[in-house]
Amino acid sequence: MPIHILSDEVASQIAAGEVVERPASVVKELAENALDAGASQITIHIVEAGRRLIEIADNGTGISPGEMELAVARHATSKLNSAEDLFHIQTLGFRGEALASIASVSHFTLVSRAQDGEVGARLVVEGGRPLPVERVGVPVGTVVRVENLFYNVPARLKFLKRDLTERQQIDALVTRYALAYPQTRFHLFQDDRAVLQTSGRGDRREVMAGLYGPEIARQMLEVNFADEGINVSGFISPVALTRSNRKEITLFINGRWVQDSALSAALLQAYHTLLMVGRYPIAALFIQLPAEDVDVNVHPAKAEVRFRNPDKIFSAVQRAARRAARH
Ligand code: ADP
Ligand code: MG
């Protein structure tokens, strides 16, 4: 084959693969957008494990009719201007890729009304091609509907796991965001069944009781630690309350859910020899540190970060957990 430049459509579908791997990744990107828009209420409807429909409605700041098309364009963002901004970023998004990516692999509808807007707008994107924007009367906020995900990339559809697994991934994701953002009311429905509802009252232990049951929530130890600009809060389980895998160790850095095995290891070390072999704690730790000490741009789905001073953060997590365990 001679060298040729890929069509925009194919390039978008390939790029989408980095951000949108499965229904849960769509939920993550859309929920993060809602949080970035300052939503105090996020309602999520999933049908057939997200294959048929993923719909996320928020009451955030919304998008004005004139900006609807830009919102779904690749590399279009309201959150960043220069690469330098990455090191003091306060929002979860910054790549301007999620909506474009999702819209290129689904039947996509964006409905929104801006806070100061008199009228809302609807934009439908089919196979990456935006149709004309229509004006509609809707409340302030944004609704994104993603139907028939991967309808035009059948190879990717084949990589999806069975519905139960995909549903569990979504439940686990929304559960974690609900814990991380207790001031936001989350409602999650799978096939019209309410799976999760939080009050938005800001009480993490209350959220935890809803997720794990009141007994576990009661036993969890509160973490509350601050030193040298690093703040660690959240909950860890006592030695007597463990799981057979690490899946219940949840780490957020500056409001971002990350998978970081070194940080998990730091937490495990805090338990020292007290955990039996093959047993792991339940933990939800929310770590805040100066934005310039974290590089958030090392992973397309932003699930990994890099620290300027990793040792300092590991040590803070360990001391935070040890202190919680002593009380
Ligand atoms: P990013 O979040 O990286 O900026 P996205 O593709 O996810 O990129 O979104 C593009 C832009 O669309 C955002 O920068 C934001 O201005 C707007 N947007 C997306 N979702 C929402 C939402 N739920 N509420 C308000 N604005 C939104
Ligand atoms: Mg985004």
Q: Spell out the domains of the chain, with CATH numbers in brackets.
A: 8-197 (3.30.565.10), 214-325 (3.30.230.10)
Distance CA 80, CA 55 (A): 26
Distance CA 198, CA 271 (A): 30
* Ligand 1 geometric centre to CA of 103 (Å): 13
Q: Is the shortest distance between the CB of 63 and ligand 1 below 6 Å?
A: yes
Across the chain, where does the E strand assignment appear? 41-47, 53-58, 107-113, 120-126, 129-130, 134-136, 141-147, 185-190, 193-197, 221-227, 230-236, 242-243, 249-253, 256-258, 280-281, 283-288, 294-295, 306-307
Distance CA 320, CA 221 (A): 11
- Closest ligand 1 atom to residue 102 Cα is 6
Task: Answer yes or no: are the C-beta atoms of 70 and 93 closer than 8 Å.
Answer: no
- Closest ligand 1 atom to residue 32 Cα is 2
DSSP single-letter state for residue 316: H
pLDDT reported for residue 39? 98
Q: In this predicted model, what pLDDT tens digit does every residue of 2-51 receive, in sequence order?
A: 999 998 888 888 887 778 999 999 999 999 999 999 999 999 999 999 99
pLDDT reported for residue 32? 97
Q: Is the shortest distance between the CB of 181 and ligand 1 below 6 Å?
A: no
Distance CA 98, CA 79 (A): 13
pTM: 0.94
* Ligand 2 geometric centre to CA of 11 (Å): 19
Question: Ligand 1 pocket test: which of 12, 35, 36 has the largest number of ligand atoms within 8 Å of its C-beta?
Answer: 36
Where the chain has pLDDT below 70, the residues are 327
Q: Is the shortest distance between the CB of 182 and ligand 1 below 6 Å?
A: no
pLDDT reported for residue 327? 65
pLDDT reported for residue 261? 87
Nearest to 280 by CA among 306, 326, 235, 248: 248
Distance CA 58, CA 34 (A): 6
* Ligand 2 geometric centre to CA of 244 (Å): 34
